[in-house]
Structure 1
Amino acid sequence: MTTLNTPTTTDTLSSYNPSTGDLVGSVPVTPADQVDAVIAKARAAQPAWAALSAQERADMLKPAGEALVAKAEELGRILSLEQGKPLAEGIGEVNACGAGMAETVDEIAQAVQPEVLTGEGAKSMLHYDPFGVCATITPWNFPILMPHWGVVPALVAGNTCVLKPSEQTPLIADEYVKVLNQFLPEGVLQIIHGEDDQGKALVAGDVDMIAFTGSKTAGQHIMAAAAPGLKRLILELGSKDPCIVLEGADLEQAATFAARNSFRNCGQVCVSTERIYVQESIKDAFMDKLLEQTKEFTIGDCLDENANIGPMVMREQKEHVLKQVEDAKSKGAKVLFGGNQLEGNFVEPTILDGVNHDMDIMVTETFGPIACVATVKDADEAVELANDTEYGLGAVVFGEEEVARKVGRQLTAGMIGVNRSMGGTGGAPWVGARKSGIGYHSGPLGHRQFCQLRVVTTNEATSEN
């Protein structure tokens, strides 16, 4: 097997299967000095796009959802070949974007409708106007879902959009844009390809807002570059999500969640469980169940029907994960499962026991299939350690219901699950706290982040808006 480096910028950007090293395809690189022209085209298209009603824009996108569903197998295969996740998951990711399109765009259109406030003889109209041009910069771990989450609300809100996908997964993003552009006016949605130079040119260009999903470090650079223009930002950044397991927990449920959320997508998920804190009195019973669940995961190529975990997307990511594991072992952590060296970009699902916060793997984001388990004496210690991080995206606590709810309210993450995953109900936004994000997306509150709020107040007797 071939282990891959991050590609370097050439006239074309090639995408390789991270399992085999085989070429999947390539796209033309957008010269960095042409990014301003792309933005100018988006700027020129924006007034006519904004002149449509939000519902008209939403209705224009609905057929794109049907087209995505119709092409789910074809696009899902491209996604899995260049990202590495099992084919069923790749197809499922495309299907989810397409099947939910109509409901999503209607929700966005409703969220950005004007609101009315009255009182003291006056009426205030709250208008949710587009910013103008939105730059959307997305990662490789969910390479159609992440563009979808950024592009669709920006468009329905009346912005035009320039998408810059990860250089690791350009093919599926390119196909996604082609599908949407079958139904959109020219210039409303464009895509640029490349690496750092193109991303920096986009951030520095004449855009009004930037929606970014990626690492904390990259987010900090974007925030600094956007500061002179006070460009509006939505930043979903890294995390180090904790899972707390206390007395009274359903240990089968807790272990099933901890294993799946540590290992799915080979741990390459922004809300992966990266720290597990288990109360001492139930530790042995929990570990037995965690071991059972971990054995259910099989590594392999995306086209291997028996595999439910693929590879790391690139060599550098594998090296980072293994370096953290070795550091933890050198400081006393014990490998209870896995830990074997594998060929290529594959990393075995691994359980580390006896970890502590002196180890880098309990402090720095891992983004790999490693379940790190620490023992705590009680809920107070669990909360203290769970909050001992600069991050704050997701967190989960399992335990007796009343106790678990109280513990959940003490955690500093933006999204907390109590005896379940941290994902919210329909309409809930996706929120990062602390250094895991600025702003938020999804749900009516998240959709409005793509809008400039303007308040127009008149005497109540007038009928003008």
Structure 2
Amino acid sequence: MGGVAAAVARARAAAPGWARTPLDQRIALCRAFKAAVDAEADAFARLIARETGKPLWETRTEVASVAAKVEISIQAQAERAGEKGGEAGGVKQLLRHKPHGVLAVLGPYNFPAHLPNGHIVPALLAGNVIVFKPSEQTPAVAEMMASLWAKAGLPEGVLNLVHGGGDVGRELAGAEIDGLLFTGSAHVGAALARQFAETPHRILALEMGGNNPLVAWDVDDIDAAAATVVQSAFLSAGQRCTNARRLILKDGDDRLVEAVLALADRLIVGGPFDEPQPFMGPVISNAAADRLERGWAQLQAAGGKLLRPLLRVAADRPFLSPAVIDMSGHAPSDDELFGPVLQIVRVPDWDAAIAAANATRFGLAAGLIGGDAARFDDFWARSRAGIVNWNRPTNGASSAAPFGGIGASGNHRPSAYYAADYCAFPVATLATDTLAGSITTGLRS
């Protein structure tokens, strides 16, 4: 596909024609992409499974999300970035939106199709052209996405693919682009913010993960609560930015912890095509597993009480067991341990639970299990997160809602349904059919 400069040049050359393409034609092309995804759904899911190691059942849900994003984005485009007009005193008042131009998309490895697709579809609908750099861990998924767009009839140069590691990402971020849409770690997001500090005219949308709390309080159904905790903590081998990293509960309430441990012991860890299908696949690489093992060792060194160890299920391979450690009375980690590690934090009362939940520089997701509506209303009001759930897993976000967080989790540009907001800029217009104007005061006679 060529280097960054060549890809940006191709995109820049294609930008005027794509911006002038009528919206109904852009919509039709996006729907043709959806049809192409549906037609290749099984092959697409198998490719994601091979490249990421995620179980096939999970990658099938990812492909379904890629297809579903099209209609959701069309609706969001109309609602949040469409055309509005009126008239007052014979003057037309119009609100319309324009594309930024050339947008870079940096994609992550955990959802290598769904998450970059969540930027690409609304950006194309708005009339932007794209330079997409996927994670170096998942290049084949990106190639298939590009081929599906080509099958849909997307004009040449509108979607451009570049491959490489962090050096290529930095080069793309510094190229002559009009904005960058990023999903990934807080460390990389902060570096991008520094890189963009002297270019405030360029849009920068950051979604950077979290250290998400799940509070359990006055729980009646222990088994249902344990299932919610386990899904929140260990789905996708803990490689979702909305995974619960900390379970906060009242001192002396051990029933839920015991139920979580018992259920975690039953989780199958295995390859993507194993039968029966595993609950968890591997983390993305041995390097990622090594980082998690170092983080786990730091938790133990800080005084954590081991409840379930973090084990390499297969030697020299990145299959990890679900791990649980009790950090009560010690400082839990505020790093995003991006894997199957759950920290237990016991507190004496409700105010302490709220304080513990908010004791993080992140602010993506938070959840409450148990309690009543009044308890949840208080939790919602006092929690610091962009996604706040009740009696649901922390990682059950809807594509029909905004997705993003505060603090180190983002820069106030939520994606999903609100991606339309950062993919176009509003243009306000006052207009009359004929020129009419006069100055009647402040003139010499």
Residue 416 of structure 2 is matched in structure 1 by 442
Query: In the alignment, is the contact (CA less than 8 A) between 2:302 and 2:330 conserved in 1?
Result: no
Map 1:258-297 → 2, pairs under 5 A: 258-281=229-252, 283-297=253-267
User: Cα–Cα, structure 1 residues 248 and 82, in superposed 2: closer, same or farther, change >3 Å?
Assistant: closer
State the 1:185 CA deviation: 0.7
Structure 1 residue matching 2:343: 3-state secondary structure: strand
Among 37, 57, 64, the residue aligned to 2:26:
57
Distance, in Å, in 2 between the alignment partners of 1:317 and 1:355 is: 26
| TM-superposition CA deviations, 1:214-241 (whole Å, max 9, x none) | 1111111111222222211110002100
Structure 2 residue matching 1:417: 3-state secondary structure: strand
Identity of aligned residues (%): 29
Larger mean Cα displacement after TM superposition, 247-256 or 237-246: 247-256
**What letter corresponds to residue 21 of structure 2 in structure 1?**
L
**What letter corresponds to residue 275 of structure 2 in structure 1?**
E
Among 172, 182, 190, the residue aligned to 1:220:
190
Distance, in Å, in 2 between the alignment partners of 1:426 and 1:340 is: 34
State the 1:103 CA deviation: 4.5
Residue 349 of structure 1 is matched in structure 2 by 322
| TM-superposition CA deviations, 1:374-416 (whole Å, max 9, x none) | 1111111011111111100111012322112211210111111
Residue 443 of structure 2 is matched in structure 1 by none
Residue 155 of structure 2 is matched in structure 1 by 185
State the 1:123 CA deviation: 4.7
Residue 90 of structure 1 is matched in structure 2 by 59
Larger mean Cα displacement after TM superposition, 346-355 or 42-51: 346-355
User: Cα–Cα, structure 1 residues 111 and 404, in superposed 2: closer, same or farther, change >3 Å?
Assistant: closer
State the 1:432 CA deviation: 1.3
State the 1:108 CA deviation: 2.7
Residue 427 of structure 1 is matched in structure 2 by 400
Among 308, 317, 323, the residue aligned to 2:288:
317
Among 361, 365, 379, the residue aligned to 1:407:
379
Residue 369 of structure 2 is matched in structure 1 by 398
Question: Over alpha carbons, which structure has the higher Rg?
Answer: 2
Among 107, 114, 126, the residue aligned to 1:138:
107
Structure 2 residue matching 1:65: 3-state secondary structure: helix
Query: In the alignment, is the contact (CA less than 8 A) between 1:213 and 1:236 conserved in 2?
Result: yes
Structure 2 residue matching 1:274: 3-state secondary structure: strand
**What letter corresponds to residue 186 of structure 1 in structure 2?**
E
Distance, in Å, in 2 between the alignment partners of 1:86 and 1:211 is: 28
Map 1:145-164 → 2, pairs under 5 A: 145-164=114-133
Among 32, 41, 45, the residue aligned to 1:76:
45
User: Cα–Cα, structure 1 residues 188 and 426, in superposed 2: closer, same or farther, change >3 Å?
Assistant: closer
Larger mean Cα displacement after TM superposition, 116-125 or 142-151: 116-125
Residue 37 of structure 1 is matched in structure 2 by 6
Residue 197 of structure 1 is matched in structure 2 by 167
Residue 20 of structure 1 is matched in structure 2 by none
Query: In the alignment, is the contact (CA less than 8 A) between 2:69 and 2:121 conserved in 1?
Result: no
Structure 2 residue matching 1:228: 3-state secondary structure: coil
User: Cα–Cα, structure 1 residues 296 and 159, in superposed 2: closer, same or farther, change >3 Å?
Assistant: same
Would you identify which runs of 4 or more consecutive aligned residues in structure 1 move more than 4 Å? 117-123, 422-426, 459-462
Q: Tell me, which stretches of 5 or more residues in structure 2 are unaligned?
A: 436-445
User: Cα–Cα, structure 1 residues 352 and 159, in superposed 2: closer, same or farther, change >3 Å?
Assistant: same
Distance, in Å, in 1 between the alignment partners of 2:428 and 2:29 is: 28
User: Cα–Cα, structure 1 residues 375 and 164, in superposed 2: closer, same or farther, change >3 Å?
Assistant: same
Residue 140 of structure 2 is matched in structure 1 by 171
| 1:384 matches 2:355 | yes
Residue 14 of structure 1 is matched in structure 2 by none
Distance, in Å, in 1 between the alignment partners of 2:141 and 2:72 is: 23
**What letter corresponds to residue 65 of structure 1 in structure 2?**
K
Query: In the alignment, is the contact (CA less than 8 A) between 1:67 and 1:179 conserved in 2?
Result: yes
Distance, in Å, in 2 between the alignment partners of 1:429 and 1:60 is: 24
Distance, in Å, in 2 between the alignment partners of 1:366 and 1:461 is: 63
Distance, in Å, in 1 between the alignment partners of 2:138 and 2:129 is: 22
**What letter corresponds to residue 305 of structure 1 in structure 2?**
E
User: Cα–Cα, structure 1 residues 119 and 133, in superposed 2: closer, same or farther, change >3 Å?
Assistant: same
Larger mean Cα displacement after TM superposition, 370-379 or 161-170: 370-379
Structure 2 residue matching 1:211: 3-state secondary structure: strand
**What letter corresponds to residue 364 of structure 2 in structure 1?**
L
Query: In the alignment, is the contact (CA less than 8 A) between 1:351 and 1:372 conserved in 2?
Result: yes
State the 1:44 CA deviation: 1.2
Residue 425 of structure 2 is matched in structure 1 by 452
State the 1:369 CA deviation: 0.4
Q: TM-score, normalised by structure 2?
A: 0.90
User: Cα–Cα, structure 1 residues 333 and 357, in superposed 2: closer, same or farther, change >3 Å?
Assistant: closer
Query: In the alignment, is the contact (CA less than 8 A) between 1:379 and 1:407 conserved in 2?
Result: no
State the 1:341 CA deviation: 3.9
Distance, in Å, in 2 between the alignment partners of 1:404 and 1:320 is: 35
Distance, in Å, in 1 between the alignment partners of 2:30 and 2:124 is: 9
Structure 2 residue matching 1:325: 3-state secondary structure: helix
Larger mean Cα displacement after TM superposition, 383-392 or 64-73: 64-73
Distance, in Å, in 1 between the alignment partners of 2:279 and 2:195 is: 40
CA RMSD of the aligned region, Å?
A: 2.2
State the 1:295 CA deviation: 2.6
| TM-superposition CA deviations, 1:163-216 (whole Å, max 9, x none) | 000000110111111101222011111110011221111111111110000111
State the 1:251 CA deviation: 3.2
Residue 418 of structure 1 is matched in structure 2 by 390
**What letter corresponds to residue 141 of structure 2 in structure 1?**
I
